[in-house]
Structure 1
Amino acid sequence: MAEGTLTLPDGRTIAWMDYNDFPEDTKQPTLFYFHGFPGSRLEGDLVAPTAKGHSTRVISMDRPGMGLSTFQPNRTVLDWPKDVLAVADHLRIQKFYVLGCSGGSPYALACVHAISRDRLLGASVVAGLYPAGLGTAGMTMGNRVLLWTASSEWIGGWTGPLMDMMIGRVARDYDHPDRLKEWFIKEMKSKPAPDAACVEDEWTTERIVEATRESFRQGGEGVALDIKLIAKDWGFELQDLNTDGLGMYLWHGGQDVNVPLAMAEKAAKLMGGVELKVLEEEAHLSASLKHQDEILTALLGGMT
């Protein structure tokens, strides 16, 4: 595992974690992992052990304004593929796969939209958040309010202060680091049983807590812009995505209340050419954590 940064032509810094257990293997597959919301490059810790079993290199990037990546005030979802390609070129990675979890889903789909097939080999979305226009029935009230606030032209400016008040201040309370962990555990215990059970694993809990803490390193501005972009128009339509010749999978828990299964089902129908894998007994976080081997096996085309 190594940490990397790159200064882009516009002067911004983009940061990532590089999980490469087989540096001598020049033919190993590479997976670009896109963290959830809120999240950071440290979230790659969660998938790296499974990827190692598939002899796969993982690059987990901070989105602008989170972790060590410079805030980009006027960015769009479709700016992300350019950053991905810049990092790939810097690391001399010609072909790669992408995996977006939860709030990372718009960015994985943006790569499907914008990156040529001679570079992008496959894409998967796990517990993905899709356009709010597909309907939010079954979603927790907190998430519905957050999406509504973030998408509003009138009160969208409150998103940053709200996120910082709810999580950011606790995340940056380095004198009392356990406060964020306590908040996270309490939050998860209010979720369906499969998600609540996830915090019983100490290693997993610590990884998620630290990835969340890192997302607020620079304050709440980057996190706030991220959810605003997720909640608004992404700059492309799901039905216009070209999935021809691309192995593409959507994985979703049947008990997910962060993003209801109905959203994923509607998204799959709009996209076409994708395979929706429903994990009936899983919720939001548990779908991402408990089925990594299946997810990577499908994405990598059976490569182990």
Structure 2
Amino acid sequence: MIHGVSAPDLLGETELPDGRTLGWAQWGPPEGTPVLFFSGAAMGRGLGFGADALGRLGARLIAVDRPGLGASAPLPGRTLESWAADVAHLAERLELPEYGIVAFSQGAPFALACAAAGLPKAVAVVSGQDDLTYPAFADRLDPGLADLLRAVAADPEGFEREFAREADAAMMWRLVVGTSSEVDLAVYTDPDFAAVYRASLEEGFRQGPAGYVRDLVLAFGRWPFDPSLITVPVDLWYGGHDASSVHSPDHGAELARRIPASRRHLLPEAGGSLLWTHAEEILTALLDAVRR
């Protein structure tokens, strides 16, 4: 096992009221406290985290594919609100008691949409993508990223069509390694970890690029909820060596100010890969909040 990663203990697909299915993978004791995992950009359900700590912590980790990625059926025109509705149905079908959510990178707005809807007991956002359209960030964005945001705002459907022409698992891997710090490259390019990460990207694109590109439009657009109205506890975790331009311009400082019940953890020695280097610390804080 490298960086707490192992093959899932269980794979499943759950039918929703409209007949679609959501695919998921599970690790840890079945009777453990449920923790839903919303992965990063284009990642399939097969890459979890903290597998070596789940039994000790009494946690049941469930990674859920978003519609159109991996094993989850597509939903054309989906929104952050429709994702929250899907998660509510999934939790009901799986008969989950109170649960937490961990979101990595691009999974952040999807987790915070669920928090805004009052679904989880607590949330952990790890190296999370911020609301990049927030006015305070206007002069702090990478110029290329700012151009992408303007393209999404001007013509979301056209952006989806154009971006889908070049989006695939190989492109995503080049993007990850090309924008990572040395701290993160030490994790991502470890041969064993890289094999699992790249397999998760292939899994994410198994239905083609549409699911990923729709995620991108939703994450790059204006969030349809007000973070200041989120009342569930939210832990924001960032590494000082996180070099990604699409996570947060200030490592979550502005987002922490906007979410009343939030705590910001900035780990100076860590990178954007801290989900795998600090998994037990992240899970322990989340589980404490869920079990209160």
Would you say same fold, with TM above 0.5? Answer: yes
Gaps of 5+ in 1: 172-179
Over the aligned positions, Cα root-mean-square deviation in angstroms equals 2.4
Write the letter of the residue equivalent to 2:17.
P
Alignment pair present for 1:255 and 2:241 = yes
1:4 to 12, 17, 21: 12
- 1:150-172 C-alpha deviation (Å, 9 max, x unpaired): x233375233442441x42xx3x
Name the CA shift for 1:139/1:38 in 2 (closer, same or farther; >3 Å).
farther
How far is the alpha carbon of 1:92 from its aligned partner? 1.6
Query: Which residues in structure 2 correspond to 1:263-302 (within 5 Å)?
Result: 264-284=252-272, 286-301=273-288
Alignment pair present for 1:196 and 2:185 = yes
In the alignment, the residues of structure 1 paired with residue 93 and residue 18 of structure 2 have an alpha-carbon distance, to the nearest angstrom, of 15
Name the SS of the counterpart of 1:295 in structure 2: helix
In the alignment, the residues of structure 2 paired with residue 209 and residue 280 of structure 1 have an alpha-carbon distance, to the nearest angstrom, of 27
How far is the alpha carbon of 1:141 from its aligned partner? 5.2
1:31 maps to 35
2:68 maps to 65
How far is the alpha carbon of 1:221 from its aligned partner? 1.1
Name the CA shift for 1:270/1:163 in 2 (closer, same or farther; >3 Å).
same
Query: Does the Cα contact within 8 Å between 2:242 and 2:270 map onto a contact in 1?
Result: yes
Write the letter of the residue equivalent to 1:291.
H
Deviates more, 1:189-198 or 1:63-72: 189-198
Name the SS of the counterpart of 1:204 in structure 2: helix
Aligned-residue sequence identity (percent) comes to 27
How far is the alpha carbon of 1:107 from its aligned partner? 1.3
How far is the alpha carbon of 1:53 from its aligned partner? 3.4
Alignment pair present for 1:104 and 2:104 = no
Name the CA shift for 1:64/1:210 in 2 (closer, same or farther; >3 Å).
same
Name the SS of the counterpart of 1:42 in structure 2: coil
Gaps of 5+ in 2: 1-8
TM-score by length of 1: 0.82
Query: Which residues in structure 2 correspond to 1:166-181 (within 5 Å)?
Result: 167-168=167-168, 171=169, 180=170
In the alignment, the residues of structure 1 paired with residue 162 and residue 278 of structure 2 have an alpha-carbon distance, to the nearest angstrom, of 35
Query: Does the Cα contact within 8 Å between 1:139 and 1:260 map onto a contact in 2?
Result: no
Name the CA shift for 1:257/1:114 in 2 (closer, same or farther; >3 Å).
same
1:184 to 173, 178, 190: 173
Name the CA shift for 1:105/1:95 in 2 (closer, same or farther; >3 Å).
same
4+ residue segments displaced more than 6 Å: none
Name the CA shift for 1:155/1:95 in 2 (closer, same or farther; >3 Å).
closer
More helix by share: 1
Number of paired residues?
Answer: 278
Name the CA shift for 1:136/1:17 in 2 (closer, same or farther; >3 Å).
farther
Write the letter of the residue equivalent to 2:27.
Y
Query: Does the Cα contact within 8 Å between 1:161 and 1:220 map onto a contact in 2?
Result: no
Query: Does the Cα contact within 8 Å between 1:78 and 1:234 map onto a contact in 2?
Result: no
In the alignment, the residues of structure 1 paired with residue 197 and residue 184 of structure 2 have an alpha-carbon distance, to the nearest angstrom, of 13
How far is the alpha carbon of 1:188 from its aligned partner? 1.3
Query: Does the Cα contact within 8 Å between 2:236 and 2:264 map onto a contact in 1?
Result: yes
1:91 to 90, 94, 117: 94
How far is the alpha carbon of 1:57 from its aligned partner? 0.6
Write the letter of the residue equivalent to 1:210.
A
Name the SS of the counterpart of 1:250 in structure 2: strand
- 1:229-263 C-alpha deviation (Å, 9 max, x unpaired): 111122201112123xx3x2100122323224515
Name the SS of the counterpart of 2:236 in structure 1: strand
- 1:30-68 C-alpha deviation (Å, 9 max, x unpaired): 100001112121222x34333333221111110001011
How far is the alpha carbon of 1:144 from its aligned partner? 4.3
How far is the alpha carbon of 1:5 from its aligned partner? 0.9
Name the CA shift for 1:198/1:143 in 2 (closer, same or farther; >3 Å).
farther
1:17 maps to 25
